[in-house]
Amino acid sequence: MKVYSKQAQTNNQNMTAQPSVYILGFGAIGSLLGVHLQKYGGTKVTPLFRSLGRLSDFKTNDYEVSIKPLYDSSLEILTERFPDASCPENFKGKIDNLIVTCKTYQTADALRPFLPYLDNNSNIIMIQNGLGVSEVLKEQVFNGGDLKPNLFQGVIAHGIFQDSEIKNQYNHAGFVDCKISKLPENDNDIIETFADLEALKQNELIKMLNSLDRSLGVVHMTYQELLLGQLEKFLVNCCINSVTSIIDCMNGELANCAGPIFQSIIEEAINVFHTAYKPLFDYEDIYKGAKHGQLPKLNVAGRLNVTTMLENTMHVGCVVNGGNSSSMRQDVLNLRETEIDYINGYVVTLCKKFSLPESNAKVNRTIQELVKLRLKLNQTRKAGQ
């Protein structure tokens, strides 16, 4: 998609006042969104770091971040500066719009220092791998107090990883899309109408992200559409992120050999989904009972089945993002904690939550333990050098 050089001028001309957004977690995904929002969305972007030390590291590169589009060699490298980057120790101001892209297991602790700068009109969108973060925020952060900001969810399928030599450069290896939606206030009421979707179009954060409809393929959709896409992306992550980490390979190297293990992971997870996300699997009956044109039509059974998902995982994970090194593999290589408890481990969590037999998640539990073993092995080897 050769849109990089033209989109900025068009969008900036259409902006009457520059909106602003903060990004908590300025790694691969945060940098991709930040650079595109500032360059093509006419948005002032302020990265938020967890400590003064991390902010100081960011300053060493003159506040610059670059995105290299590996998926199309004809596209230029994008570079943007973010001189207003901040952290809890020196933050001042009010947060109207916040994108959270830090690691899933860090989210609650990373967000807490910034709670005084949020209010009930603030917009927060989580764009991360894995599942279960929204539940953690509702249970541990926004649990019974007066602060209840607007919560949104994003699902990003682009492949991007940090360059091994240029630390402030991220390599955009695969172009797919980014889905966004407002989270339901009640987890048991996941159905959103087209009228609900239309009412959100004027939300400032939604408008910002929608400005990247061409440069990053952002699509605003109903929550049930997003949930279906989120589960599809989750299954890809369950296969690609974990297996590339365990055997230490690029995504594309799995194209001709990983089918059997991928099938086992997917089949087990989908079986658990039928219980955990029953309203989604019952959606066809809900759609038939609604007024014509009120709800989007979704083929849940046609998309969330083993055959289709195996093909999708192979195509998106190993072909479109074949040149990508998964974020979990990058964490394991750099001796960092992983998000495995929110990916394959979340299938295990769902079994416990819905009182399903432990054996219903035996494959994903094994994958979860193998990722932890691989990380521990790498850490032990490093300590022994």
User: What is the tens place of the pLDDT at every residue in 91-131?
Assistant: 999 999 999 999 999 999 999 999 999 999 999 999 998 89
Residue 7 counted as domain residue: no
Q: Name the active-site residue from 39, 103, 182, 233.
A: 233
Are residue 326 and residue 274 in the same domain, yes or no?
A: yes
pLDDT at 17: 73
pLDDT at 16: 56
What's the CA gap between 214 and 155, in Å, rounded? 16
CATH of the domain at 38: 3.40.50.720
Those residues whose C-beta lies under 8 Å from the C-beta of residue 97, and which sit 6 or more positions away, are 19, 20, 21, 22, 122, 123, 204, 205, 208
pLDDT at 129: 86
What's the CA gap between 20 and 45, in Å, rounded? 6
What's the CA gap between 300 and 358, in Å, rounded? 26
CATH of the domain at 328: 1.10.1040.10
Residue 9 counted as domain residue: no
Are residue 167 and residue 203 in the same domain, yes or no?
A: yes
Distance of CA 353 to the CA centre of its chain: 23
- The H-or-E segment that residue 180 falls in is strand 178-182
Identify the domain boundary among 179, 195, 221.
Answer: 221
Is 382 a residue of the active site?
no
Are residue 275 and residue 199 in the same domain, yes or no?
A: no
Are residue 203 and residue 231 in the same domain, yes or no?
A: no
Question: Please, what is the end-to-end C-alpha distance for the chain in angstroms?
Answer: 45
Are residue 177 and residue 244 in the same domain, yes or no?
A: no
pLDDT at 10: 42
Are residue 126 and residue 246 in the same domain, yes or no?
A: no
Domain span at 94: 20-221
Residue 268 counted as domain residue: yes
Q: Structurally, how many domains does the chain consist of?
A: 2
Residue 193 gets which letter from DSSP? -
CB atoms within 10 A of CB 220: 21
Are residue 203 and residue 297 in the same domain, yes or no?
A: no
Identify the domain boundary among 221, 244, 273.
Answer: 221
Residue 8 counted as domain residue: no
Residue 11 counted as domain residue: no
Are residue 151 and residue 254 in the same domain, yes or no?
A: no
Residues of the chain short of pLDDT 50, as ranges, are 1-2, 5-15
Are residue 244 and residue 189 in the same domain, yes or no?
A: no
The CA-based angle 185-189-191, given to 5 degrees, is 110
Residue 12 counted as domain residue: no
Residue 141 counted as domain residue: yes
Are residue 202 and residue 308 in the same domain, yes or no?
A: no
Residue 194 counted as domain residue: yes
Are residue 96 and residue 123 in the same domain, yes or no?
A: yes
Amino acid at 167: K
Identify the domain boundary among 221, 255, 273.
Answer: 221
Amino acid at 258: A
